[in-house]
Chain A
C-alpha cells in the first residue's frame, strides 16, 4: 500500500506523472471515473476522471458555477438531496463503489464527512451534544465512550482548550471560527475516512481562517481532505494537489506547485493569473 503511493506522489511532484486516471488504485482514497452529473436537463459535471491522494489535501478551484461544489458533494452523495439529479460513472472509496445499489447513502456519509461554507452547529444543542450527536443518533449510548470521543474530537479540532469548561453552553454561543472548528470536531467524532470541505473559511475573518488552515494541515496526517475554495491563495497555501474545473469539466489536475507555477493548460494559467473571462 505504502510503496506505490509514494512513487505516484513522487512522480506527480516531479511533474512526470501521467494523467491521474492512469494511476494505480492503491494510491488513492477516491477514484473518480467518467463522472457526469445532471440537475434535470442541465449537466453540472461533465465526464470527470481523477484520483484523490490519501493523506493529502486536494483543492478544487474554478469560477463559480463550474461544478466544483457539485463534484465535492458527489463524493459523499450529498448532491442527491437536490431533486431530479442523475449521475453516470463510478466513484470508488478505498475500492468500494459508493454508488452501488446495495449501499445506503447514510453509510457513505459516515465514511465521508463534510464541512460546510456556513458553520452550522445545531442551535438546540450544547457544545458537547453537538460533537457527539452523530454517534448518538447512530445508536451509541455508552456515556464513557461518548465522553472519550468528545474530548478526542475537540482536541483534534484544536478547540478543546477553548471550550472544555463550557461544554454545556449552546453551540451557537461560540465565535464564527470556533463554530466552524466545532463543526469539524462534530465531523471527526464519527471517525470518517475522508473530510470534504466546501469553502470552509469563506465566512471567516483572517485570524479564524489562519486557524482553520493550520488545522487542515494537522488533520492531513490522519485524514484525506478534499476542499473547495474560490480563494486561489488559500488553495496554494493548504493543498498538495489542485484540480481546476471549468464549465463542469476538469481542465487540469496535478501537484499544487505545478498548477500554480507551470500549468499545462492555457485556461488554467488564465484563471490563476486573473485573466479569466
Chain B
C-alpha cells in the first residue's frame, strides 16, 4: 500500500516535471558552446596582437631594414633578420625537395601498388612517425644522423659536386643540409597522408575516361589521376611547407645555429624558429626581446600565409570514393621504405641507447648536479604529467564544447569560417604559442611558471580537439537526435546525453591524440615552463618537463647526460606510442559499432 501511494505521489511529481519548460538550459548551452567555438577567433587575434605589441618598438626603430639586413648583434643592438629568413627558407626548400617526391610516391604506393594486407599497417606506421616528438628526432639527429652524414654521404657529395658552391668548403657536421634532412623526416608523414587522401579521392571515372581514349596505364595515371589531383597535391606540399617553416626543436639541434648567409649547404645556418628557441631566455635588453618578438611575428606571418594557401587549395578537394595512382612500382616501394626507415632507425637507437641507461634511479631520483654522474628525471616525468593535466583542463572543455557548437549549432557560413580558422591555428608553429604566452603571462607576472607552460600546451590543444570532436559528432546518425527529441528531451540534454555519449569513443580518441601531441612538445615550454632541476612546489614556479629535460641534456657536453637524454626519450616515446596504440584499439571498436 505504501509503495502504491509513493508511486502515486511520484506519478504526480513526474507529471509536473514533464510539463515544465526547460528553455533556459537550451539557450545557456548554446551560448556556452558558441563562446567556446569563438575561442579560435580570439586565439588568432591574440597571437597577432601579442606579437605586434611585443615588437612595436623594434618595428618602429628598424622598419623594413629588419627584414633585409643581416647583422644580428644583440650587444650593439643591431638586429637584422635576413640570415634567419634565409635559413628558414633554404632548410624548408631542401626538406621539400626530399619529402615531396618521396611522400607522393609513397602515397601512390599506399593507394595502388601495395598488397592490400600491407596497406593499413604501413599507413599506421607512417602515422606513428608523425607522433615522434620533434625533440626526440633532434636527439637522434645529433647523435646518429649527423655523425653518419659527416662520415659517408657528405664526403661523397663533396667529391662529386664539390666544384659547385653548394657542396664546397669544410664539413663540420651540423649544417643547413642536415637541418633540411631532419625537417624532411618531420614533414614526410603529413605530406604522405594528405597526398594519400587526395589520390583516394580521384574518381574512377577520370581514369576510365583516359582508358577509353586508349591510354596506357602510365598515361592514364599521368593524364587522369595526377593531373586531376594536381591542385590537391600542391595543397599537400604547401601544408608540408607550413610545417617545415615552423619546425623548431629538431632543426635547432642539427642546423648549427650560426646567423650567416652562405652558399654552401655544409655550412651552419639558423632559422627563425631556432633563434627564438635559443635566444629568448637570454634576451637581457628590451630591444633584444622586441627584436625576438618581431622574429616571432615574421614567422607567424609567413606560416599563416602559407597555411591559408594550403587550406584554400585543399578545401576544393572532396574526399569521396577511393581511387588510385600508379607510378613505377619499384620507385614507389623504395619511397615507402625510405619513409618508414627513419621510424625504425629512431626506434632502434632509442631502444639501444635508452634501455641501457634506464634504471630504477631514473624514475625515482632528481637530476644529479652538474658534473656528477647518476640521478634521474622523476621531477620531469611528474612535471610533464602536471603540465598535461593543466593543459587538459584548458584545452579539453574549450575544444570539446567548441566542436559541439560547430557540429550541432551555428549557420553553415559561420561554421565554415570557424573551421577554417581552427585549421589555420593548427598550422601555427608551436614555438609561436610559447612566444605569445611569454608575452601574456611570463612578462606580466614576472616569472616562468607552471601556469604559463600549461596554458601554452592547452592553447595548442584547443583547435586540435575542436576539429576531431566536430568530426566525430557529425558521424552520429541523425536518427538518434530525432528519437531523443521526439521523447520530449530538450535539445541540450539530447546533445549531452545522447549525441556526445554515442560519440564518446571518438571524442576521447581526439583528446588522447591531442595529449600525446602536446606531451611531446618542447618549443612552447622553453620560455614558459622553463624547466627546473628540482621539485616544483608551486604552480607559480618554473617546472621540469620530460621533453625539456631531453633537450637540455642532449645539447649538454656531458656523456652521462647524453645517456639520460636517450633514456628520457625512450620513456617519452613509449608513452606517446602507448597512447597511439590505445587510440588505434579504441577506434577499431569504433568503426565496428554503429557509428
Contacts and interface: CB of A to CB of B under 8 A. Distances in A.
A110 interface: yes
B160 interface: no
A106 B483 contact: no
Contacts of A148: 7
Given A104-B22, A106-B22, A145-B10, A122 B487 contact: no
Contacts of A78: 482, 485-486
A68 interface: no
A138 B17 contact: yes
A131 to B, nearest CB: 11
B7 A110 contact: no
Contacts of B489: 106, 133-134, 137-138
A110 B487 contact: yes
B18 interface: yes
**Most central of B6, B477, B482, B502 by chain A CB within 10 Å:** B482
Interface residues of B toward A: which range? Answer: 35 or more
A118 B483 CA distance: 10
Contacts of A137: 484, 487, 489-490, 493-494, 497
Interface in B10-66: 10-11, 14, 17-19, 21-23
Given A124-B502, A144-B6, A145-B10, A106 B486 contact: no
A65 B479 CA distance: 20
Nearest to B490: A106
Interface string A125-146: 0000000011101111010110
B504 interface: yes
A178 interface: no
A113 B486 contact: yes
A46 B525 CA distance: 64
Contact of A124 (B10, B22, B504): B504
Contacts of B22: 104, 106
B487 A120 contact: no
B18 A138 contact: yes
Contacts of B484: 122, 133-134, 137
A107 B489 CA distance: 8
A22 interface: no
Contact of B488 (A109, A140, A142, A144): A109
B217 interface: no
A110 B502 contact: no
Interface in A105-125: 106-111, 113-114, 116, 118, 120, 122-124
Contacts of A133: 484, 487, 489, 497-498
B24 to A, nearest CB: 10
A181 interface: no
Interface residues of A, number: 36
B480 interface: yes
Interface in A151-202: 172, 183, 186-187, 190, 192
A108 B490 CA distance: 11
Contacts of A186: 483, 487
A76 interface: yes
Contact of A116 (B23, B483, B491): B483
Nearest to A130: B483
Nearest to A196: B486
A76 B487 CA distance: 10
B479 A190 contact: no
Nearest to B477: A120
A199 to B, nearest CB: 13
A241 B305 CA distance: 65
Nearest to A121: B483
A139 B488 CA distance: 12
Interface string B561-595: 00000000000000000000000000000000111
Interface in A52-90: 76, 78, 81
B501 interface: yes
A139 B483 contact: no
Contacts of A183: 483
Contacts of A172: 594
B48 to A, nearest CB: 33
B3 interface: yes
A113 B7 contact: no
A135 B482 CA distance: 16
A118 B479 CA distance: 8
A145 B595 contact: no
A107 B19 contact: yes
A120 B3 CA distance: 34
Contacts of A140: 10, 14, 17
A16 B34 CA distance: 57
A186 B23 CA distance: 23
Given A134-B487, A186-B487, A144 B502 contact: no
B414 to A, nearest CB: 13
**Most central of B6, B19, B479, B491 by chain A CB within 10 Å:** B479
A183 B479 CA distance: 12
B485 A144 contact: no
Interface in B453-512: 477, 479-491, 493-494, 497-498, 501-502, 504
B502 A122 contact: yes
Given A116-B483, A140-B17, A122 B498 contact: yes
A76 B486 contact: yes
A114 B486 contact: yes
A145 to B, nearest CB: 4
A144 B490 contact: no
Nearest to B481: A81
Contacts of B481: 81
A116 B19 contact: no
A122 B488 contact: no
Contact of B10 (A107, A108, A123, A142): A142
Interface in B348-403: none
Given A81-B481, A106-B21, A113-B487, 18 more contacts: A76-B486, A104-B21, A104-B22, A109-B487, A110-B488, A122-B484, A122-B502, A123-B480, A123-B595, A133-B484, A133-B487, A137-B484, A137-B494, A138-B14, A142-B6, A144-B6, A145-B10, A145-B14
Interface of A: 76, 78, 81, 103-104, 106-111, 113-114, 116, 118, 120, 122-124, 133-135, 137-140, 142, 144-145, 148, 172, 183, 186-187, 190, 192
Closest 5 A/B residue pairs (Cβ): A110-B488, A134-B487, A114-B486, A120-B479, A104-B21
28 contacts: A78-B482, A81-B481, A81-B482, A104-B22, A104-B490, A106-B485, A107-B19, A107-B21, A109-B488, A110-B19, A116-B483, A118-B479, A120-B482, A122-B484, A123-B594, A133-B487, A133-B489, A133-B498, A134-B484, A134-B488, A137-B497, A138-B489, A139-B17, A140-B17, A142-B10, A144-B7, A145-B11, A190-B488
